[in-house]
Amino acid sequence: MAVCTRVLWNSNDLAVLTGRSMDWPESTEPLIVAFPAGRRRDGGALAGVDVVPRNPLRWTSRYATLVTSVYGLGGIDGFNEKGLAGHGLYLQSTDFGVRNPAEPGVHAGMWLQYLLDQAATVSEALALMDGLDVVMVGAHGHDATIHLALEDASGDSAIIEFDHGTPVVHHGRQYTLMTNDPTYDEQLALLAEQDFSRPSRDMPLPGNVNAVDRFQRAAYYSALLPEPRDERQAVAGVLAIMRNVSVPFGAPYGEFGVYNTEYRTVCDLTNRVYFFELTTSPNTIWVRFDDLTLPDGGDPLIVDPYDETMVGNVTGRMTPGLIGF
């Protein structure tokens, strides 16, 4: 449920990486959570309340996942053990349509988590959308009007939006950028008005914090990224773009007023490392998925990024804990 930016870098020879910024008018109460496979899920329940009372989707996760949660609703950002990643971003025009109880329903807060739990690739995730009914849910007075960006370790990508209950899908490696309103079709049309694939220092560049300007800046700076020498340089390159499209403190826009960037993440899908940067902390932290011990059906491992003692590799500081999804 967040106003954000997503940038996929799938054109270098080193690794497939994705950056995202989380912009929202208050803290989303994030936790970084590693879930083992074999976890039973209920896509119709939220905080003990049946928000999808008839024919809720229930499943047991096939894959382990590493995600950042939002308000305890579900994962809003992260990837799974197969290298499928996803990111939920705010889209005011989202319309999930009228609930169809003939189809299994999952509330919007668990939509991304379901796909990460069950799919290994973008194509598999899109296949899971057939016959699935996504149901609106709210938290802290805000509806989860989200659209999803997906990518996998091969560099494949997809954007999924809902218009009057119908999913609108853009599927292909070329869909590397996403922000918020207007719809993705309109964003692509606006981008076509200026060829940011050939950036120069004389090219005028939009500098505001609205979704259209951030989309165009992301395109401009993505085209400038040099071939990285190593993972450190690759991650730094993506983070540099995410910092450029972040919303400074106090910058007002949108229907809820001020949307400051709360955090930025980078998913390295080749090396399976998750980087997290809180804007109120000078420390970048990361979790190496392959160093986690996640026995099937076991307890999730959790780390609180607001813990100011966290710095660098925090894989070893993830501890078992309870979480409501």
- Residues in Cβ contact with 52 at an 8 Å cutoff, skipping those fewer than 6 apart: 43, 44, 45, 99, 105, 106, 107, 135
Q: Are 109 and 23 in contact (CB under 8 A)?
A: no
90: left (phi over 0), alpha (psi -120 to 50) or beta: beta
The two tokens of residue 50 are 């049946």
- Pair 196, 219: CB distance under 8 Å: yes
141: phi then psi, degrees, rounded to nearest 5: 80, 5
Residue 205, amino acid:
L
Cis peptide before 228 (omega within 30 of 0): no
Number of residues that this document lists for the chain: 325
Catalytic residues: 4
Measured on CA atoms in the order 64, 277, 325, 109, is the torsion positive or negative? negative
- E strand or H helix at 87, and its extent? strand 85-90
